[in-house]
Structure formats: structure tokens, C-alpha cells
A and B are shown apart, each in its own frame.
Chain A
Amino acid sequence: ETGVTQTPRHLVMGMTNKKSLKCEQHLGHNAMYWYKQSAKKPLELMFVYSLEERVENNSVPSRFSPECPNSSHLFLHLHTLQPEDSALYLCASSSGYGTGGGEQYFGPGTRLTVT
């Protein structure tokens, strides 16, 4: 595997379900991100982890719960979602240090539909 991988690629879940999104980066980076992308809207940063510590949490509802067990893996646990949470969820990673440290590389995304 190379780059940033995400599973599953597509997910349909009911509002009472619990599911998790998984992200893995193979770039040796120190920072990992979760973004939400809705149609016609800018990317919304949800969470940032640097060396497994959460450094940003942009007022995301508690029904989204991130987990970063090590610098290569990132999870997003989902429960009691709403239909407006349907979107493309993107994981990204960056080195986090020095010039070029802010360059973020994205996984293919998980297309989430909440019914």
C-alpha cells in the first residue's frame, strides 16, 4: 500500500447505527486529519492529530469521535448520525514540520450516506 488509504469507500448507515471509518498513511508523516466535504462547500476541517495528540477540534458534534492509536492510523467513530451528515469524509496526512510540512496528502475518501 502507498500513500493514504481509507476504508470503507462507501457506507450507508441508519441514524441509530454505530460505524467506524479507518485511515492509514504510509508516508511516514506525523500529522493526520479528518475533513468533511459537502457539495458546493469548502472543505471543513474536523480534527487534527500530531504525534497521536489531538491539536485541533473544530466544534464538531460529539456524534463524531476520533481516535489516533499511533501516527499511522486514524479512526472516526460515528454514532447517532443525522441525514445532514451525509458527505464525503476525507483523511489526510502531512509531515507537520518545516517548509512543506503543511502539504497535506489525501486518501480517496469515504462516501457516507445517512438514511
Chain B
Amino acid sequence: QKEVEQNSGPLSVPEGAIASLNCTYSDRVSQSFFWYRQYSGKSPELIMSIYSNGDKEDGRFTAQLNKASQYVSLLIRDSQPSDSATYLCAVNIGNSNYQLIWGAGTKLIIKP
């Protein structure tokens, strides 16, 4: 059974601090890794994708991938109250460009 694990939270972070979200996955063959943000009552929105080991930065967001340890993380710098949402980690199955396994999400709360 291929799985993606995330801490459900809630993760509470003060405004302006760095929020760190983690995700582990079981399929060693996975090549594509995604972070989605989902506000309450809304649909998931893609915020980062990463395909190679190391860091990928986009504005205040940094995705980190370590295939040897099978984890992917998302750092949010200078956290804002508008970052409060559930963050979903998704990983492709094997070589598929269609099948993603989804984590249940981590709820992030940014405290003003």
C-alpha cells in the first residue's frame, strides 16, 4: 500500500516566523512531488512542484526534496495570517503522470 504521511496538526506559528511542513512517502520510484494549499471550503491550489533533490524557492516558499530519505518539506518564510490553510502533499505513483497519492494534509494556523 503506497502512502503519503503528513502530521494533521494544527501547526500554530507566529506571524513573521518560518512555518515548516513535512511529508514522507513510501514509493521509492516516485519522481514528482507537489504541495497544494486548500483554504476552508475551497479547492486545492498548486503552490509548488519539485522533481530533483535539493531546494526549490519561489517567493516566500521553499520546497525541499530528499529522495534517499523519502521526504519532502515546505518552508514558508515571513508567515502571514493569509497563509492559514490546510497544506496537502501529493506524490506520483511510480512513473505515472496521472496517479497521485495524497496526504491527508496539515492544518496551519498563523497567529497574528
Q: Which of A40, A88, A103 contacts B34 (CB 8 A)?
A: A103
Interchain CB contact under 8 A, B102 and A43: yes
At the interface, yes or no: A99 with Cβ under 8 Å from chain B? yes
Name the interface residues of B23-59: CB closer than 8 Å to any CB of A.
Answer: 32, 34, 42-46, 49, 51
Interface residues of B: mostly helix, strand, loop or mixed? loop
A-B pairs with beta carbons under 8 A, tally: 59
How many A residues touch the partner, as a band?
20 to 34
**Interface-located stretch among B12-20, B64-72, B73-81, B92-100:** B92-100
**Which partner residue on chain B sits nearest A98 by CB separation?**
B97
At the interface, yes or no: B110 with Cβ under 8 Å from chain A? no
Name the interface residues of A43-96: CB closer than 8 Å to any CB of B.
Answer: 43, 45, 48, 50, 55-56, 88, 90, 94, 96
Q: Which of B42, B96, B100 contacts A104 (CB 8 A)?
A: B100
CB distance from A91 to the nearest CB of B (A): 9
How many B residues touch the partner, as a band?
20 to 34
At the interface, yes or no: B88 with Cβ under 8 Å from chain A? yes
**Which partner residue on chain A sits nearest B8 by CB separation?**
A40
CB distance from A59 to the nearest CB of B (A): 13
Chain B residues with CB below 8 A from A34, complex form: none
In the bound complex, CA of A50 to CA of B102 (Å): 20
Interchain CB contact under 8 A, B42 and A108: yes
A sample of 27 cross-chain residue pairs with beta-carbon separation below 8 angstroms, ordered by A number, consists of A42-B4, A42-B102, A42-B103, A42-B105, A43-B88, A43-B90, A45-B99, A45-B100, A48-B99, A56-B98, A56-B99, A88-B43, A90-B43, A90-B44, A96-B97, A96-B98, A99-B51, A100-B49, A101-B97, A102-B96, A102-B97, A103-B34, A103-B46, A103-B49, A104-B46, A104-B100, A106-B44
Interface residues of A (CB under 8 A from B): 31, 33, 40-43, 45, 48, 50, 55-56, 88, 90, 94, 96-97, 99-109
